[in-house]
Amino acid sequence: MKRIFPPSPSWSKRLSRIYSPVVLALLLAFSIPARADTQDAWLEAVAYYDAGQYKSAVGALENLLQSGSLADPARIKEALELLGAAYFYLDDREAAREPFTRLLIQNPDHELDPVRYPPPMRAFYARIREEKKAELDSLIEERKRQDEIKRKMLEAERARQAERRKVYIDRVYRENLYALNFFPFGVGQFQNQQPAKGWIFLSIQTAGLAANISGYAVAEALRNKRGFYNTAPPPGANPASFTPDHDKAKLARGFQWGGLVVFLAGYAAGVTDSLLNYQSTIKLQERNLGGGDQTAPSPARPGPAAPAPPASPASKPDPSSPAGESPSSGIQWKLTPGVGDIFGASLELKF
């Protein structure tokens, strides 16, 4: 017995690869001439109408409309209009009524061009509109309703797209204290979130103050029990290598007053810089709460908000807390320590 085996999968794939381009080429070969034939038939029908050969125009237009080869709604509307006008010119009012009626049903607001068509034809067209007024009004209302539904659906889709693109950001701000601008040791700079400047002014003023205190302490330590400076060497000391305590005290006083000048100059410069860069509020934290397809923050709930626990400006947000919850005003106030958790206090607002 002779056994017949089905073709292998590899041969099936090869055949599909060969036949698919062939089928596509055949479809294109038949569709392109069809579109070209439709365009030629349309141009021929319009040419018959413009030449006054209305019987030939009626036949060409009827063939186009009955075959369904016209796909463009604007072209179909024009074909119905020309067909009705051709029947009218042939004094066949009953035949002209059918394409004009179809034209009105498909386009209830359509009007005939007064430049192109004579008044009797437009009056005939108006009578048909009046006879179909109830039906046309119903069609107009239905299309308005459909257009309104489409508009609302489009707006809803746009709103959904905008919601997907929306990003929720949580920001924490601190309200600065104006009086801290006049504090020494770079306090104003630290409050203004300028730590580099703060450390510079802190170092300069600390060095000046240390020189001032050290110079004063050395000068006072050189005094004897009676409060005077020794000008003669003690017994047994070499007078040539002896420096009077008064001269040492003068050098110490120089350090004392020089340190004071450095401290005051650094203080004045620090206050000026702090006032020039002062901001009433400064953003301390910012975190992205998500957006797009993620869950949006819950909406604000009416009623008084619970008091917020103290938090440091440098502390990280608690991940266990519900994101985005806020009182009805949309603003949450937090009382937190001020600059570096050392000086004063400040208020944070969160929204």
CATH value at residue 78? 1.25.40.10
Instruction: Determine the longest span between alpha carbons in the chain, in angstroms.
Output: 152
Kindly state whether residues 121 and 266 are assigned to the same domain.
no
Kindly state whether residues 332 and 248 are assigned to the same domain.
no
Kindly state whether residues 55 and 171 are assigned to the same domain.
no
The answer as to whether 348 is a domain residue is yes
Last residue within a domain, chosen from 276, 295, 330? 276
Tell me the residue range of the domain where 332 lies: 167-178+280-351
The answer as to whether 325 is a domain residue is yes
pLDDT of residue 75 exceeding 70, the answer is: yes
In this prediction, residue 152 has a pLDDT band, given cuts at 50, 70 and 90, of: very high
The answer as to whether 308 is a domain residue is yes
pTM of the model: 0.38
Kindly state whether residues 171 and 294 are assigned to the same domain.
yes
pLDDT of residue 144 exceeding 80, the answer is: yes
Amino acid at 297: P
Q: How far apart are CA 101 and CA 46, in angstroms?
A: 21
The answer as to whether 156 is a domain residue is no
Name the average pLDDT for the chain: 75
For residue 33, the model assigns a pLDDT of: 52
Kindly state whether residues 69 and 127 are assigned to the same domain.
yes
Which is higher by pLDDT, 58 or 21?
Answer: 58
Q: Tell me the two tokens of residue 337.
A: 């320590």
The answer as to whether 295 is a domain residue is yes
The answer as to whether 13 is a domain residue is no
For residue 237, the model assigns a pLDDT of: 64
Total domains in the chain come to 3
The answer as to whether 21 is a domain residue is no
Q: How far apart are CA 259 and CA 209, in angstroms?
A: 6
Q: Tell me the two tokens of residue 85.
A: 């006008």
The answer as to whether 347 is a domain residue is yes
Kindly state whether residues 298 and 260 are assigned to the same domain.
no
Kindly state whether residues 308 and 171 are assigned to the same domain.
yes
pLDDT of residue 47 exceeding 60, the answer is: yes
Please give the distance of CA 8 from its chain centroid, rounded to a whole number: 56
For residue 122, the model assigns a pLDDT of: 92
Phi then psi for residue 331, to 5 deg, are: -130, 135
